[in-house]
Amino acid sequence: MPTVTIPSRFNGPRASGNGGYSCGVIAAALDGPTAVSLRLPVPLDQELALRHEDDGKVCAFRDDKLIAEAVPAAPLSAWDGPLPSLDEARAGRERYAAPPDGEFGHCFVCGRSRADGFHLFSGPIAGADLVASPWSPPAWAAGDDGLVRPEFVWAALDCPGFFALHGAAMTIAYLARQQVEILAPVHAGVEYVVVGRPLERSGRKGLAATAVLDPDGTVIAHGECLLITPRASPPAAADVTRKRGYFV
């Protein structure tokens, strides 16, 4: 049975995998458009067994616990939100208000306390229901051809969804499902714009759209993220631990 492992350096919360990165790793087990649902926090540095089911989905297990499942999905609707410029994204980054500590302070994508992270700090864009940040993928996120590996594109398209939905209040919420489509190669060392905007909210659930724009403002990757707040949701600066049942 094939396995995958989420290295500890690619955490989101301190004790579990970044949701987007984990979804991207598991999505690679299927061809074509794929949506990945996270059922439990993704353990770090532990093998996850991938089981192909008769209905076409792939389930990831740790021992007897279902961690995630990937399913074939219909193609995403095209990004139809605003296309902020690089200067606007840089201004958004200056408005990034996440604290350096707490649940996401050490996330390798958006954590202020990670010197070795993506430094993807999505802040609000003036006059728009949108967050954005510049992003220059580092060389270690790419293969020998200089192209950013898909799982890192998934990671970059996760955190802006959180900040689009919860950045103003910094309420804790976790990625429960993600789908991403990469439309053109993403190159290391190029300064891109990553954007996120809220689509809908219903109770503890929120849906956000995210996208990567090239220097000309063309969408080269986009995604949708479903986030769920815990039943008793503390501020993001608090020290919290996810428990079974948050994704039910």
CA dihedral over 2, 34, 109, 221, signed as positive or negative: positive
Q: Domain residues of the chain, as ranges?
A: 3-72, 86-228
User: In the CATH scheme, what is the code of domain 86-228?
Assistant: 3.10.129.10
Query: DSSP per residue over 109-152, as a string?
Result: TT-TT-TTS-----EEPTTSS-EEEEE---GGGB-TTSBBPHHH
pLDDT digits (tens, 9 = 90+) for 39-71: 999 999 999 999 999 899 999 999 999 999 999
Q: What is the pLDDT of residue 234?
A: 53
232 confidence band (pLDDT: 50, 70, 90): confident
243 confidence band (pLDDT: 50, 70, 90): very low
pLDDT digits (tens, 9 = 90+) for 166-191: 988 889 999 999 999 999 999 999 99
Structure tokens, 135: 């992003």
CATH class of this structure's domain 3-72: alpha beta
Rounded to two decimals, what is the model's pTM?
A: 0.92
Q: What is the pLDDT of residue 244?
A: 31
CB 165 within 8 Å of CB 35: no
Q: What is the pLDDT of residue 231?
A: 85
Give the E-state strand segments of 2-88 in sequence order: 3-5, 34-38, 47-52, 58-62, 65-72
For residue 136, pLDDT beyond 80: yes
Q: Do 3-72 and 86-228 come out as alike in CATH topology?
A: yes
